[in-house]
Amino acid sequence: MQATGWGALPMLAVMLPVLAMVVALPLGARRAERLTLAMLPAGLALAIGTAVAVQVGGAPVVHLLGHWSPPLGLAFRADGLAAAMLLTAAVVIGAVAIFARADFGTKAGQPERREAFAFWPLLLAVWSAINLAVVANDLFTLYVALELLTFAAMPLVCLDGSRTTMEAALRYLMFALLGSVLYLLGVALIYGACGTLDITLLARMAPDQPAVILAIVLMTVGLLAKTALLPLHLWLPPAHAGAPAAASAVLSALVIKGSFVLLLRLWFGVMAGQPMPGAAQILAGLGAAAILLGSVAALREARLKLLVAYSTVAQIGYLFLMFPLLASVAADSQVAAMAWSGGAVQAVSHAFAKAAMFLAAGIMAARFGHDRIVELGGAGRAMPVTLLTFGLAGLSLMGVPPSGGFAAKWLLLSAAIGAGQWWWALVVLGGGLLTGGYVYRVLASGLRAGEGAPDPAPIAWQRDGVALGLAVISVVLGFLPLAAFGLVQVGRLGVLP
Amino acid sequence: MIADLLLAAAIAAVATGSVLARRAFTAVALFIAYGLLLSLAWVRLAAPDVAMTEAAIGAGLSGVLLLGAVRRLGPHADAPANLPPGLLLTALIGIGCAGVAAALGAAILWLPEPAPTLAPQVAAALPTTGLGNAVTGVLMSFRGLDTLLEAAVVVLAVIAVWSLAPDGGWGSAPGARQPVVGRGPLSLLARMLPPIGIVVAAHILWVGADAPGGKFQAAAILAAMWLLPWLAGLATPPRIAAPWLRMAVVAGPVLFIVVGLAGAAVEGAFLAYPPGWAKPLIKSIEVVLTASIAVALALLVMGPPEPDAPR
């Protein structure tokens, strides 16, 4: 693998947040907060730069660490999917950081608080870990990325220090560590069988030894536990619903996507040579079950934040519909390209929509002092912008045109028809209806005149603004012509140039 | 051969015992024994670096952390336990575990012989780094990024542990205050061992460039030397708000990242060392990193700051 121009951009996108996270510890809460805010424009610029370099060059951007090329050394390889995820992470982290100042900010002269001390470095750690997880090209470096992601996300869950969130965090940790162990076992087996851990080299080798197949099975199960695909989703609802709103947004939007991207790298990178249509059907079957059961759970849920968390369980299901579509057709066919884009756009648009939804739910819960859905009456009058944010994000999750969610679901639907697997198209349509159901429940309750509604207050424009901004982005993604999604096609492994 | 078979059998027996043990303390004691036996196995496999790390981190540090957890669980020993799973579930779990174990065993036997290896490439590239120990070459140069990120994970672990602090004690000293042990073996060890331990750690760190040894092993020993006087009540740890303490935790990772970025600026690649500068830079990073990791490991063992509870 050769280093390319602009390789420093993804490298800096990973290393600057790492440096900031480490430096934040001696700086203390107040200066760590400022450092994080100062990092936001730099991180966004690096992400945009990477995306432009990938799009214009039409090839992945590669940085060889220490000039050592794989298999001896390590490489960062930012392909189109990585660039799209870098951009998503930069925007979501930026919005969450601005949103979180009200909860985790430290005023001048105020003593350092535990939550404020922890929040900012943890946010920076999530940022660097997700960036690393999408650009690293070595399976062991990716293991370190997963560890960073887990150890940053787990304390975010129990930041309020209550007993219930501690239990949720501990349960999350158990699932995540089980996933890490299985993944690491697989890494060892692959190194023993192939003598390299570089994804590009492995893809070229097209390994088919039983040890490699077993490794991929173990790693897939481990990564499913971290991605929370049904039936390994049990940790997600209490963890994502119990965390502070800002943390929930990051957890649902970004953290679970890190292990998902890694799954794509394994299935359609390392194993690009031998597609596994049978196993892929099982994965999509679990995805379909997640869509149906997660949506039904959200429909029956009495609490707003848990409803949003179950919605995440359901939306994760869509991500796995692309697997059988990609596995059953030639990698360079039109159908495969549509399925790949559909999955990638789903990952991105869900990130924006779900971050917006969790932030809106957090604003509502803070104003009402509770998040019981039936008692949200009067929200429409007291906080119209917040309810609008929730509704817009809901439209994107439903897949109503024009929205990012629509583009994703349309691409998946078309790919399912094109691949002759019409049953997945039915799942996409049914899931959209169920999503509409639970979003309607919240909106209908919020638009009712209510007794216990808080008085209209001056809108906290910063918090409402960033939440609305994220929701608008999740919708505007649908206005981009489908050709713009050509970005995520750049550098797909298994499609030989 | 007989000795190896005995060692393997002993490892399997101790591991099984650790899983089956009813009392938490027994399980941890067996786990520590397991780590020590495992490090012997690494010696037999001619991997002395791994053996030292396994003994220092796997058995030593993890053992101390687990013993601390057992002590904290003590007052809650009679808390209601989870209901044991039913017969069907137990059988299913057993079948699942047996299946995974059998598949892993088969996969290990299927691995190609001789194993594909990067050792010749490492040996060929090692002279450019000026190092004599191939393991240090891999950890600090060829795969330096992984080591750097692991060092960042250690800092993150300190932040995560401190984030679990109970309300009321923020900024105070980590861990519970230890009663002063006036006499007895702990007090004696706490007074006698640290000077020797510090010299041993420095030696292990220094020879790491050319012989087995290195920063994680040295850091684990240094951390133990700090923990001993603390456990004996002879020294109190500094407050976690102390700026120098926080600087000490991050100094190594910061230096590592700054050297990496300087490599990007001067040589055009992150962590590229200028010709002739590789060994001095690597040694400097290792010295500072050892100190930082030692402080971090000790802080992890002490735990989050706690409000002074009446005891």
pLDDT tens digits for range A365-415: 988 888 888 888 888 888 888 999 999 999 999 988 888 889 899 999 999
Q: Are A315 and A397 in contact (CB under 8 A)?
A: yes
Helix (H) / strand (E) containing B32: helix B24-44
Residues contacting residue A496 through CB under 8 Å, at least 6 positions apart: A332
* Chain B CA closest to residue A29: B241
B143 vs A151: CB contact, 8 Å cut-off?
no
A122 close contact with B: CB closer than 8 A: yes
Residue numbers of B between 240 and 259 with CB closer than 8 Å to A: 241, 243, 246-247, 249-250, 253-254, 257-258
A72 vs B142: CB contact, 8 Å cut-off?
yes
Q: Residues of B with CB below 8 A from A68's CB? A: 125, 141-142
A195 vs B115: CB contact, 8 Å cut-off?
yes
Q: φ, ψ for residue A62 (rounded to 5)?
A: -120, 135
DSSP state of A109: T
Paired tokens of A410: 């349309």
A375 close contact with B: CB closer than 8 A: no
Task: Tell me the C-alpha distance between A347 and A341, whole Å.
Answer: 10
B162 vs A71: CB contact, 8 Å cut-off?
no
Task: Tell me the C-alpha distance between A134 and A262, whole Å.
Answer: 7
Task: Tell me the C-alpha distance between A491 and A60, whole Å.
Answer: 5
A15 vs B261: CB contact, 8 Å cut-off?
yes
Task: Tell me the C-alpha distance between A368 and A387, whole Å.
Answer: 13
Each residue's pLDDT tens digit in chain A (497 positions)?
Answer: 788 888 899 999 999 999 999 999 999 889 999 999 999 999 999 999 999 999 998 889 999 998 898 889 999 999 999 999 999 999 999 999 999 988 898 888 888 888 999 999 999 999 999 999 999 999 999 999 999 999 999 999 999 888 899 999 999 999 999 999 999 999 999 999 999 999 999 988 888 888 899 999 999 999 999 999 988 999 999 998 889 999 999 999 999 999 999 999 999 988 887 778 888 999 999 999 999 999 999 999 999 999 999 999 999 999 999 999 988 888 788 888 889 999 999 999 999 999 999 999 999 998 888 888 888 888 888 888 899 999 999 999 998 888 888 989 999 999 999 988 899 999 999 999 999 999 999 999 888 877 666 665 655 788 889 999 999 999 998 887 655 668 888 888 776 54
B167 vs A114: CB contact, 8 Å cut-off?
yes
Q: Residues of A with CB below 8 A from B160's CB? A: 118, 122, 151-152, 154-155
∠ Cα A279 A324 A409 (to 5°): 140
Closest CA to A33 of A102, A135, A89: A102
Specify the 3-state DSSP secondary structure of A429: helix
Task: Tell me the C-alpha distance between A96 and A84, whole Å.
Answer: 18
Paired tokens of A342: 């559909």
B257 vs A189: CB contact, 8 Å cut-off?
no
State the average pLDDT over residues B216-241: 86
B271: left (phi over 0), alpha (psi -120 to 50) or beta: left
Q: Are A25 and A52 in contact (CB under 8 A)?
A: no
Residues contacting residue A387 through CB under 8 Å, at least 6 positions apart: A360, A364, A379, A380, A443, A446, A447
pLDDT band for position B146 (cuts 50, 70, 90): very high
Q: Where are the domains of chain B?
A: 1-72, 86-116, 118-311
Q: Which residue has the tokens 């053996």?
A: B51
A114 vs B163: CB contact, 8 Å cut-off?
yes
Paired tokens of B26: 């027994």
Task: Tell me the C-alpha distance between B289 and A172, whole Å.
Answer: 31
A121 close contact with B: CB closer than 8 A: yes
Q: Supply the ipTM of this predicted assembly.
A: 0.92
Asked if the model's pLDDT at residue B81 lies above 70, the reply is: no
Closest CA to A320 of A183, A241, A416: A416
Task: Tell me the C-alpha distance between B16 and A86, whole Å.
Answer: 45
Q: Which residue has the tokens 């609490």?
A: A303
Task: Tell me the C-alpha distance between A39 and B82, whole Å.
Answer: 46
A18 close contact with B: CB closer than 8 A: yes
Q: φ, ψ for residue A215 (rounded to 5)?
A: -60, -45
Q: Residues of A with CB below 8 A from B152's CB? A: 18, 21-22, 128, 148
Q: Are B221 and B57 in contact (CB under 8 A)?
A: no
Q: Residues of B with CB below 8 A from A67's CB? A: 267-269, 272
Q: Where are the domains of chain A?
A: 302-488
